[in-house]
Structure 1
Amino acid sequence: MKKHFVSLLIGIVSYVQVSNVYAQKTVYNKDVEQRIKQVETNLFSNKAGSNNDKWAIDTRMRHYGVYGLSVAVIKDYKIEWVKGYGFADFDEKRSVTTETLFQAASISKSLNAVGVLKLVQDKKLALDTDINTYLTTWKFPYDAVSKGKKINVANLLSHSAGLSIHGFPGYGKGDKLPSITQILNGQKPANTKAVRSQFEPGLKAEYSGGGTTISQLIVMDITKQPYAQYMWNNVLKPMGMLHSTYEQPPFNKKAQELATGYQENKKQIEGKYHIYPEQGAAGLWTNPTDLAHYIIETQLALIGKSNKVLSKEMTQLRLTPYSENLGLGVFIDDVNKTFGHSGGTAGFRCQYYGSLQGGNGVVVMVNSDNSDIMYELINSVRSIYKW
């Protein structure tokens, strides 16, 4: 009897471990289920020395020390499947579901650009006009570095403004949060330096979260609304991104909806996640399902079959390379014909790709500082779906 009980206990523990790797099970049709299984067992790396090995997703999650992962796959302008794996919070044994929210980090910039271009479409600002025309609560301090050239909104969205501050480290819970003007001026309690010119605008691409933060302030100055409120009403809600928020911290979400971030050594981020008042650059909380809605809306708008936020003409402009491989808020891959963006904040990594033709795409989000598994999974999706 005792031996039988021990065997039963081992079986229960094994089941719990497996069920938490494959945390959420939605029944799809036979063909889709087969593709899901193939994707889950076909992860591979493009790195030198990988020997064309293929791995299962649970194996790679353990290998990289990734607690939680969520993925959405788009086919023919529709979400084909979405699935969550592992733990949103390991200590709480809280599983990732398809509703679990992750920090989108720099993917926030893609949606920020949609919000800014909505103002362009509504003729409340122009892409080629000096940003100081629209800034009222703060003015950009031009100096000799910009060589007399003015920065415009298109420069900000395409990282061609010649500005400093690549990214932001965020703030811990309980830290005093700076205002946007304090961030832009590098004044305490801001933990980054001032956003200033490094070279003249339009000369070349230089990634700048600082520039995106200026665009956030432009939105606030023009609309006279809190940034998160404007983005909810004009971008997230119309696109069907109903679980997402730019609120920082996300006070309008329940704690169990939010993934906890982890370092590469599996150590939990203090306070579970950082706070980013630089909302346009790094403040979006979302999930692959909602990002898939954004990708599909972009794809449909591009071919003139939807205009929930942006018109066909504005979407075409957004997806046209403006500076090197950068459109407005997106990276354009002319070889693979995709638009996309990656993201990384403390304890979170994410990546999305959408095809410029045919309506295909993929989104992967993890609550880890290790992003390797994301690209192995994306390789698998591309291989199985023959993209």
Structure 2
Amino acid sequence: MNCNPTVFKIKQTSLAFFLILSFNAFSQNVNEKIKSFENNLNSWDKTKNKKSTLKERMDFYEVNAVSIAVVKDYKIEWVKAYGFADVSEKKSATTETLFQAASISKSFNSLGVLKLVEEQKLNVDSDINNYLKKWKFPYDSISKGKKITTADLLSHKAGLSVQGFGGYEKGQDLPTITQILDGLKPANSNAVLSVFEPGLKFQYSGGGTTVSQLILEDITGEKYEDYLLKNVLTPLGMTHSSFNQPPFTDKKNLLATGYHGNIEVVGKYHIYPEKAAAGLWTNPTDLAKYIIETQLSLQGKSNKVLSKDMSIKRLENNFGVFTRDFNGTKYFGHSGGNYGFVCHYVGSLEDGNGIVVMTNGNNMKLIEEIVRSIASLNQWKNPPLDSPTKESISLTIKKIANKNIDKGIELYKKLKITKPNDYNFSDKSELNSLGYEFLKNNKIDDAIKIFTLNINEFPNFPNAYDSRGEAYFNKKDYTLSKADYQKVLELEPTNQNAKEMLRKIENILKK
């Protein structure tokens, strides 16, 4: 076909001009969204007259750094970081800053394990002891003759103990994976044991995920972090991410420091040898790549790690993820909380939306506000959020309680009478979290008063008694501690921690 060169050049110039205009319009639109998000975080809530900036909400929730990645139409729309990765060093958070992903690690663990299934090296429905070599799961009468499968481990239906892990300060001896599973020193967690028969019901267990970590290592003969890097992280393009515990020294300048309230975690962060359950260091950009790959794999448009069929099976069975349906719109996601870090990701199954929020704080409420704000700005059809939460009552009374615990409790009671609909009085964990802040700061008597208030508010909440029992134990008031742990077992007979603590108290009282 003949073509007039002059006409062709004019067409090229017009196309370039159109593309520049389109790009500028897109950039302006995104920048306007970001500006709106930063200046009025709660713009979606038409009942509120007062605008709240992101900075104001970060201050209220005592969160030093927030890093965000937004996914739209199966692409990363924007990424931005706010605040300080380390306050004392005045190190600003950037989009490359790495945070502990905590339990989000479980999503990537499931990818690694299911890749072994696709390679026919593992059957998710077979007894886990068929694959475990260095350690065998100690079945007992509680499992009622039923065998635990890898599918049970990935979906938290194995009926196992140990919900989560506290990690280890720098310099502490780190346990081996078998010491962790057996609850032997230097492990600081209890043994992973059956608390009811497998397959019966859901019970979240980081302990069960740690068993799957050992299965993967036993099958592959590789270190967990090496296998995940080669077979999961690298194929996904997650070039900044790693399961190495402790993290590589060459990443030191990228690591965020963890905070509990405004208190810096000793040693900057904890170390988690329980890598599958809590060991991933990453940032929102890398996690957004995982969201997009999952969405495309479900449609058969990409298979960087898993096939379409396996991706569908993964989400249908909640293997390492949690799926929810909000008025016909389906989402997958996971939250995470290590000591000094909380984070969350969520992606839609069908229309290419998603968001990742990572922080070096300990408050999930700010993350909920951020997700709600961005979902509103991007006009998600049915946002993956329950009804809006009310203002945090524990943070509202915290400043006064820090100065005078009794006046803080007085304010709580006053607000419950005068403004019952303005504050979140229904969340059992609010006061519990505040009590733990006092406990970690060695204000044991103040912690006991807050835990007692929580018990009075929620007399059938086992965790409130468990928390006060821990405070009494730290105070060496073993009689009152024993009474609280006995109450825990009365309310929750399978509570493994209460059983362990009662044994520990009995041994102390015998001396």
Shared fold, TM over 0.5: yes
Which among 35, 38, 52 is matched to residue 36 of structure 2? 38
Contact 2:160 2:195 in 1 (8 A): yes
Residue number in structure 1 paired with 2:58? 61
| Conserved? CA contact 1:177–1:277, under 8 Å | yes
Q: Runs (4+) of structure 1 moved beyond 3 Å?
A: 44-47, 50-54
Secondary structure of the residue aligned to 1:319 is helix
How many angstroms apart in 2 are the aligned matches of 1:236 and 1:112?
Answer: 11
TM-aligned CA distance change 1:382 to 1:273, over 3 Å: same
Aligned partner (choices 270, 273, 298) of residue 269 of structure 2: 273
Equivalent position amino acid for 1:234 in 2: N
Instruction: Tell me what 1:331 maps to.
Output: 322
2:68 corresponds, among 67, 71, 75, to 71
CA displacement 1:341-373 (0-9 Å, x = unmatched): 000011000000000111110000000112221
Gap change, CA 1:248 and 1:45, over 3 Å in 2: farther
1:253 deviation in Å?
A: 3.7
> Within 5 Å, which residues of 2 pair with 1:121-270?
121-264=118-261, 266-270=262-266
2:44 touches 2:373 (CA, 8 Å); kept in 1?
Answer: no
Equivalent residue number for residue 87 of structure 1: 84
Larger radius of gyration: 2
What's the CA shift for 1:207?
0.1
Partner SS for 1:337:
strand
Deviations 1:36-70 (A, max 9, x none): 112223323999xx857542111111122211110
Measure the CA separation in 2 of the matches of 1:238 and 1:39: 33
Asked if 1:355 is matched to 2:348, the reply is yes
Distance 1:115 1:301, change over 3 A: same
Partner deviation per Cα, 1:96-142 (whole Å, 9 max, x = no partner):
11100000000000011001001001111011000000100100010
Higher helix share: 2
Q: Distance in 2 between matches of 1:240 and 1:53?
A: 42
Give the letter for the 1:39 counterpart: F
Tell me the number of residue pairs that the alignment of Structure 1 and Structure 2 aligns: 353
In structure 1, stretches of 5+ residues that fail to align are 1-26
User: What residue number does 1:302 align with?
Assistant: 298
Q: Indicate the SS of the match to 2:263.
A: coil
Matched, 1:319 2:319: no
User: For the residues of structure 1 that align with 2:43 and 2:156, how far apart are their CA atoms?
Assistant: 30
Q: Unmatched 5+ residue regions in structure 2?
A: 1-24, 381-511
The two structures, once aligned, show a CA RMSD in angstroms of: 1.6
The answer to whether the 8 Å contact 1:45/1:375 transfers is no
Closer, same or farther: CA 162–53 of 1 in aligned 2, 3 Å: farther
Q: Which moved more, 1:234-243 or 1:327-336?
A: 327-336
Task: Check conservation: 2:44, 2:376, Cα contact below 8 A.
Answer: no
**TM-score scaled to structure 1, two decimals?**
0.89
Q: Which position in structure 1 is the counterpart of 2:464?
A: none
Q: Which amino acid in 2 is paired with 1:261?
A: G
| Structure-2 separation of matches of 1:166 and 1:154 | 17
Higher relative contact order (CA 8 A, sep 6+): 1
**Residue type at the aligned position of 2:371:** I
Identity, % of aligned pairs?
Answer: 61
Question: Is 1:44–1:52's contact at 8 Å kept on the other side of the alignment?
Answer: no
Q: Distance in 2 between matches of 1:279 and 1:52?
A: 45
